[in-house]
A and B are shown apart, each in its own frame.
Chain A
Amino acid sequence: MSTTEIKRIKSKVKTNSKYVSLITWIVMIYFVFSVVMLIRAAFLPEEAFTATPGLIFWQITIPINAGFSFNINIPMEVLPNYEPERFQAKAAFITYHSIYLLTYTSVLLYGIRQLTYILWSITDGHTPFTINNSVRLRNIAFAAIGNALLAGHIATICISIFVTQIFSMNILNISFSGLIIGSLLLVISQIFRYGAYLQEQYDTTL
């Protein structure tokens, strides 16, 4: 591979790194906004919340300002299709949104942060094939797999305890796409580990 090509790749990685930073900021703004909404929801009366059943989601809406509202979708696997009178929409909103922020958004932010570190390791002039990057990819993979396996169940359990007081759990309430993505990342992390070994061999050859 020629030096020009390597420079071109590094320039591309630098551009991608900027996009990832932009995505990080967008997710962080969403995270902060969601936390603000959560705090606001805690002080709103029960009547301010509207729960609307859909085909696969409950849509719970809270008013923000005149004409604007904030809504979240709770899957029916988490909150079954009960009569809206059988649960408190406020409790459902606060419980599910807290769990969502703690599981999905945190894992997303963690994954993006690790990806940024990997991209930085390339733009800084080092090779991407290092043990550190392999560990970072493995950590993202474990986070994705853990999230895919547990997030749905944690949400269901919390909704059962704090909202409906009716315990119902579907063992298949797992994210298969998350599992596949996590498994693929795990394979890629193993490839990176082997790449790190080859890189070390190359670096110690004169």
Chain B
Amino acid sequence: MAIIIRLDRLLAERKMKLNDLAEKVGISHVNLSNLKTGKVKAIRFSTLEAICKTLECQPGDILEYTPDD
């Protein structure tokens, strides 16, 4: 897919575990793991907002566009 989720990179930079993020954002660990591995097709603005608020980042830091070849 052309949109890549950079959640693992952000978590490493913030030295935060996926479980902690899941707890703070209020999303189940399984769903967040699916997001990290690119298994979800869409993300709500409210979810994106909660992640950005917790990780103190911009949506662009989480989502990255790479053209398909």
Contact = CB atoms under 8 A, between A and B. Distances in A.
Interface of A: 201, 204-206
15 contacts: A201-B41, A204-B39, A204-B41, A205-B40, A205-B41, A205-B42, A205-B44, A206-B27, A206-B31, A206-B32, A206-B34, A206-B42, A206-B43, A206-B44, A206-B47
Nearest to B27: A206
Contacts, number: 21
Contacts of B35: 206
A158 to B, nearest CB: 54
Nearest to A202: B42
A23 B60 CA distance: 58
A164 to B, nearest CB: 63
Nearest to B47: A206
Given A205-B42, A206-B40, A206-B44, 13 more contacts: A201-B42, A204-B39, A204-B40, A204-B41, A204-B42, A205-B41, A205-B43, A205-B44, A206-B27, A206-B32, A206-B35, A206-B43, A206-B47
